[in-house]
A = this chain, B = another copy of it.
Amino acid sequence: MKKKTTDHRPAKERILDAAEQLFARRGFYGVSLRDITQAAGVDVALVSYHFGGKRELFTAVFERRAEVLNRERLELLEEVRRAALPAAPSLEAIANAFFEPLLERSARGGPGWKSYFALVAYVNNSPEFGPVMMTRHFDPLVERFIAVLREALPGCPAREVYWGYQFLTGALTLTFAETGRLDKLSGGLCRSSDLDSVRERLAPYVAAGFRALSARATAAASRTPVRAARKARRRS
| Chain A residues within 8 Å of B, Cβ to Cβ | 24-30, 118, 121-122, 124-128, 130-131, 134-135, 139, 142-143, 158-160, 162-175, 177-182, 184-186, 189-190, 192, 194, 196-198, 200-202, 204-209, 211-213, 215-216, 236
Contacts of A118 in B (CB 8 A): 127
Contacts of A159 in B (CB 8 A): 186, 189-190, 197
Q: Which one of B131, B178, B192, B213 lies within 8 Å of A179 (CB-CB)?
A: B131
Q: A170–B201 Cα gap in the complex (Å)?
A: 14
Are B205 and A167 interface neighbours, CB within 8 A?
A: yes
Contacts of A143 in B (CB 8 A): 185
**What copy number does this chain have within its complex?**
2
9 contacts across the A-B interface (CB closer than 8 A): A125-B125, A163-B182, A163-B197, A167-B202, A169-B174, A170-B172, A196-B236, A205-B212, A208-B212
Q: A30–B168 Cα gap in the complex (Å)?
A: 28
Q: Which one of B166, B182, B189, B201 lies within 8 Å of A174 (CB-CB)?
A: B166
Contacts of A179 in B (CB 8 A): 124-127, 130-131
Q: A196–B159 Cα gap in the complex (Å)?
A: 13
A146: nearest chain-B partner, CB-CB: B185
Please judge, given known A-B contacts A159-B186, A159-B189, A164-B205, whether A127 and B216 are in contact too, CB under 8 Å: no
Contacts of A236 in B (CB 8 A): 194, 196-197, 200
Q: Which one of B163, B181, B215 lies within 8 Å of A130 (CB-CB)?
A: B181
Are B131 and A184 interface neighbours, CB within 8 A?
A: yes
Q: Which one of B29, B121, B162, B175 lies within 8 Å of A167 (CB-CB)?
A: B175
A212: nearest chain-B partner, CB-CB: B208
Contacts of A164 in B (CB 8 A): 205
Contacts of A215 in B (CB 8 A): 204
Please judge, given known A-B contacts A158-B189, A190-B162, A201-B163, whether A174 and B181 are in contact too, CB under 8 Å: no
Q: A194–B143 Cα gap in the complex (Å)?
A: 21
A143: nearest chain-B partner, CB-CB: B185
A201: nearest chain-B partner, CB-CB: B163
Q: Which one of B28, B175, B181, B208 lies within 8 Å of A209 (CB-CB)?
A: B208
